[in-house]
Structure formats: structure tokens, C-alpha cells
Chain A
């Protein structure tokens, strides 16, 4: 009834969507194995969005009665396409519900991880160890002018940590954004956080205590699935957002190199990048987008060629195409905008060992501690954390913080192989103003790049 009334109130507009959107969450924070705090949040409210003469009018409030749209007289930038609206419901089931484990058990689970790390026999000092657990449920109900209704229910769980290690005069910050997915507490059984974190700390300790300086110059490298994931997301996913190519984000998160790209060929045959919101139990899961368009997997790049951008109802007419269901809003008080979901390089058919096999001399970037990219998504920089030399097809000594710096248009053509194992990492993707952080997965296989430039920090 509430949404119907909103639709009725504003039915003079030729496009209209009304949304109820609720985000519930429970967060637990630990510092050095001690509880820092618990927060329990509920954000819920209503929004309405309407289109008129090139302008999108958006209003949000905690109560539907307070929604207010006021037209302005001005040239509008937006265009509206003709699209079918899909009605439907999507949900993610929990095999173990959030309330199946009391909060003290959840705190104990996190404390046990810290205790395990403190007992590690390493040469470096573990100065700080911060952990953050969050379980959340996102519920939305969206009604469109034609009466179509979309309902979504997605529970999610995530564990994040940051730690500081020091050996002599070298300090490193290690953080994770790896553990997150949709579903319930069954994820805690699937993730092997204790063991993985132990291995990570041992490896970072090894780098700090035995790492040697990398050589500057051109070399072959292998990027782990973690770096492949960040590259898929940041160097392909973001610049393939149609609104970004068109300049709608120009004053915020920037634009895209695709604006100036005069060829479809962007990478080697080994490069295929997919954005797929329908991956079961993924962090970026949805089946119908917030504009009532059915979601589907999208090949952004297939065998090195640009195939499809991420589109919504308002970008697609500018490309004379249809929306591919990429619009999402973070919460009730944010407009739906084009967002990635789960973005990843497609695996190849080699094993990891086969990737290494014919590298005479190179570097394996297993994890990174700094990453950034320019606002056209062209010039990027990765500073390795766990990094190793590759010698005669085998992993060798640890290296101290090699820097990979170059352009997307150099890296994608230099990928000549991907292995056959895919891994996903959880992340929160930021965009827009007012800012919106939405849950995503990023991932891929291990990738081999030939003859790229490595710098010394």
C-alpha cells in the first residue's frame, strides 16, 4: 500500500519507481583479541525517483509521506530508454541462520583467531591486530509505474582484519577484504581463516626477515587471483560502467579510457572478463536490478575484445542499446546507479605450475599492500606485499615490495595465460555522490604477464 500511494502521488511523471529499502546489520569489533564494541544497526526508509525532460528527480525519507519532488527549469542530461519491467522475487537462503550462534560464540570465534596468531613463532612483532565481523540483511521492495514489483532479500556475512607487523626498521600494514559472501553462518565453516591467516603472517614475516630488493626493469610476472581480482574490478569493471564513459561520474570517481579507445581489441586472446550478479552466494548477488531489469552475466571483454558495457535504463539509450540490469542502490536514501556485482577474469586451462614453467626470470605478486589508479582507469600501481622471484620456472626468494606500474592498455595485451583455478574476494565498491558502497566480489585465476615494467619503491 505504501509504495502504491507513492506511485499514485507522483503519477504525472512518465517514469517512476518507488522503493522501500531496509539494511539490518550486526557488527563486532575486536582490537588485539579484546572486544572493542558491538553495534546493531537498522536503516530503513523510502525513496522515489522520477524522470522528466532529461532530469532525474530523487527523494528519500524515513516515511513515505515526506517524499517530495520539485521540478526545476533547466537543460537535462539524462535520457530514458524503452524497457520491459520484470516483476519477481529473489532471495538467498541461509543453511545456518545468523541467530543459530549466540553473540558470545561469535566473539569467541574471532578471539580464537587472534590467540592462534599470537602463538605463532615468527621473528617479526605483531604490533596490532584488528578484526571486524559483520552480518547483514538487505531487504528491498520496488514498485514501478506499471505496477511491476521487485522484491529482494539478501543476507550477507563478512570478516575483515588489519594488522601491523614490524621487523627491525621495517613496518607493514596487512589487511584483508577477502572474506565475504551472501548466505549465513555456513560461510564460517567454509572459510579457513585461522589457517590462511597463519600462512599469510608467516609469509609476510618471511618477506620482512629475508626479502631482498627486486631488480628494476622489464620482466615476466605472475599475478595471483587477488591481484587479478583487483585488476578485473578496477581496470576493467569500473571503466566499463557506461555512465562513467559518458562522463556522469567525471567530477567524482572519474571517467574511462574507453572514451578515447578507437579499437575493440583491448587485450590478448587470454583475456575474458565477466560481471555476473547471478553467482550463487556471491557478495554482489541479485537477480533483478533496482530498475526492474532482469540481471544476467555479462562479458565485458571476450578473448581480448570489448563486448559489452554495464548499462542501466538511462545510459542505454545513449548507446542505442538496452539496459543489462546493472543498476543498484546502496540504501533507501541513494539513487540507483550503474554498479558492478561480481567481476572476474575467466580462468584458462593451465595449472599454476605450468604458468611458471617457462618463466626464466620473473616475479610472482601474491598479495599487495597498496594499489591505486588514475581517474581514467589507465595508469595503475601495485606494491607487492607477499612477492617472490621466479627462477627457471620455480618460486624463489621473497622480494621486498616490488612495484608494478603501468597502463591498463599495456597490461591486458601482455597477459598470455591464465590458470584454471578461480578465487573470489569480497569487497565494498565505492562510487557516486552522495557516496555509495555496495558489496561485490572480485576475482579470477592467476595470470601471467609478459615483459612488463617493475620498479623499486
Chain B
């Protein structure tokens, strides 16, 4: 197993420790523009990330297409001892995980069927379908030799109905025609709401769709990385595990052991991954850690290396107890989609993001109309602190502004600051 990595290992001279991490991606991408195909892409990518260590000193090199290791010994000699240094786990196992969905493989070779499904929509669709086969390999000087190979499909669709639009997304490690049809239909349903309404600046109760909440959870996951916390680029920088930081109905996890896109069996330091709650019923449970940052924080690695920078794998927001329709039964603004989330202050979590597609105003549970592009200008702390309810229904989504897959419910949040974009 991993013969190419073993051959590369032979070229490494003069280092006490090393790790070679390889990603091989074979992706088919289909891009749609207003009900037609714009481009079909076949991207085959192999990247070798090589970690070379002498005592605490290290260098990381990325090689793609040119698998030759330069002589880094002299470079390391003149470098300072770094503040952090990757620690490879004492794991000498040979480990292989393969899970390939046959239907996904067929579509990856010939996407004609999914193209037909998308183009038979009620309204013209713009969007993307990604069909991926990803193979991750790791070889370490401690004897670990592992491979994780799986495939997945994800996509997002924006449906256009004159001045109105709707969007939906999906991600899955299993293929069925229904996931494409359902996503396209949901986007079209949102686009079919064709009455306009004007909304003033103020505080409102809002319902965030899984697309919008998924986007915010991507940021929250990034902030939960131990390195982000150390660098002061995180709302978690002010807290310690055990602190209550959100409504008790909110549980947020990293779940690499689930059968989902972007899941992984081992991290870059050869630690086997595990599911963990980052926030457990409103209480900050753990940051995401690798060996070196766990040591600094007096905690255990969570299996999220990233050498130096711990990284989330695939995200999960626990479901609530009421239906999505019940969330919309009062006076709320439902954000179908958002765009361009920008933080002004990572420690305080202040951000703004602009709603797009169907920003639907409900009064007594009835649709009053679409409010156009409203801006949420609040803080992430308030968003997770003011959660009132979450829906029973959850949707696994991955889209352009939420690159990590998130299984998320619809979420009702009280008193969110809204301005007109």
C-alpha cells in the first residue's frame, strides 16, 4: 500500500522524523448557467505534503507534479526553533478504509443523467454539481501507513423566476436521483414566492435555513481550531471549556466517523479521528486540536491535525424537536440563502452577511412576501446565544459559501439585528 509514498520516503535523508500526506482527487464538475450547461470539467489532482523534522525544527513542503525533495537540511539548520512543532502520533498501524458508491462512480464517468435531471426543472437553474473520488494516504516515520478512499456528490442550485430566485444545496456519500430532484424542486419552490415586501432596519426574529446556518457554522468550525484561538481569531479565545456560550438547545459537532462527504479515518499526525461535540447543549466542550496544540492547552488531541493548524472535517448541528413549519408559524423573516459573510472582529464575533434569494417575511405564519436583500449585522455570539428553536428536519448541505458539509436544521433565532442592504 502507498508504494509511491514509500518510494518518496527513500529520498528523505538527514531528518529525525517525517510524514508524507497525499491527497488524490478525481473530480467531475458540471456547471449550469440559466438552464444550460456552461462547462464540464475533469480535474485529476495529486498533492504530496511532506513534513520534515529535526528536533523541534520543521519544514512543510507541498509537491504537485514534481515529486522531488530538495535538500532542506541546510534550510532547517539556519531556522529558529519554532513556537509550535507538529508531533506525529505513536501509531504504527497499517490501515485501509475504502467506501465507494457505485452509482457515484458511474456518474463521475458520465454525468449525462444528472444533467438531464437538473435541466428538467420548473425554472432555469444556475449552479454546480461536483462528483468526487478522494483518496488520502499517510506514511509516517513512526510506522503508520494508511489510506482512506471514498466518493461523494454535492451540488447547489439557484432557480430563477423573473425577479425572484431560490437556492438549495445537497451533499451525499450515496447517490439517488431523488437528491438531485429534491434539491432542484426546493430551489424552485423558494423561487416561486413572487410577492415583494419592504422591511425597515430593526431587530427581528429570523429563521435561518440550513444553507445560511451552514455558512455560519463553517466560520464557527474554523474559529474552534486551536490555532485560531491562539492567534486571537476566534470567539472561543475569551472562553474555556465548560463555559456556557450558547443556548442549551444548540449542540455543534465535528463528525468524521459518520458516512458523510469530507469524513476521514485518520488525521495528518496519524491520530485516528473521532466524533466530538465542540459545543454541547450550549456549553463549550472542546476546541479542535492536534497533538502540539493539545499539549499547550493541557488537553488531548481531538484527531483534527492539520500539522500546526487543526482543521474540522464534517459538521453537524443537532436537530430540534419541532417541525420546520412550526418555526415559521409566527412573525419571522426566513433567510433562504446568504452571501459574503465578513467579520470585523473575530474575538467579539461581529459580522455582517447579506441575504439573497428568498428572504421571506412571515406574519402569523402566512407569507407576506420577499424582502429582497436584507443584511444581518450582528455577532456570532448573539446568533448562537439567541437560538430559540431548531427544526426536527435536517439537511446535509455544502455550497459555494459553505465548503465544509453541514447537517443542519432550520434555526429560529430571536432579536437579530437587520439592516437594509
Contacts and interface: CB of A to CB of B under 8 A. Distances in A.
Interface of A: 22, 31-32, 34-45, 54-63, 66, 68-70, 72-78, 102-104, 107, 127-128, 130, 162-164, 171-173, 246-248, 250-254, 332-333, 335, 369-376, 378-379, 381, 383, 405, 433-434, 455, 457
18 contacts: A34-B82, A40-B70, A43-B47, A54-B36, A54-B37, A57-B41, A62-B65, A72-B112, A128-B231, A128-B232, A171-B345, A172-B345, A250-B160, A370-B343, A372-B353, A375-B354, A375-B356, A434-B41
B148 to A, nearest CB: 20
Interface of B: 27, 29-47, 58-66, 70, 72, 75, 78-84, 109-112, 115-116, 119, 126-128, 156-158, 160, 167, 230-233, 307-308, 339-348, 350-354, 356, 373, 375, 377, 400, 419-421
Nearest to A252: B400
A369 B345 contact: yes
B36 A75 contact: yes
A38 B76 CA distance: 9
A381 B27 CA distance: 37
A374 B356 contact: yes
Contact of A58 (B41, B344, B348): B41
B112 A370 contact: no
B62 A127 contact: no
A374 B421 contact: yes
B320 to A, nearest CB: 29
A37 B72 CA distance: 14
Contacts of B339: 253-254, 374-375
Given A57-B39, A370-B344, A455-B419, A247 B126 contact: yes
Nearest to A108: B80
A36 B85 CA distance: 8
Contacts of B233: 128, 130, 162, 164, 173
A62 B80 contact: no
Contacts of A104: 78-80
Contacts of B344: 173, 369-370, 383
B268 to A, nearest CB: 13
Contact of B232 (A57, A164, A369, A405): A164
A379 B373 contact: yes
A72 B70 CA distance: 43
B66 A374 contact: no
A405 B347 contact: no
Contacts of B230: 31
B65 A43 contact: yes
Contact of B36 (A74, A128, A370, A372): A74
Nearest to A53: B37
B400 A433 contact: yes
Most buried by A among B40, B126, B127, B375: B40
Contacts of A61: 44-45
Given A70-B42, A250-B33, A381-B377, A35 B83 contact: yes
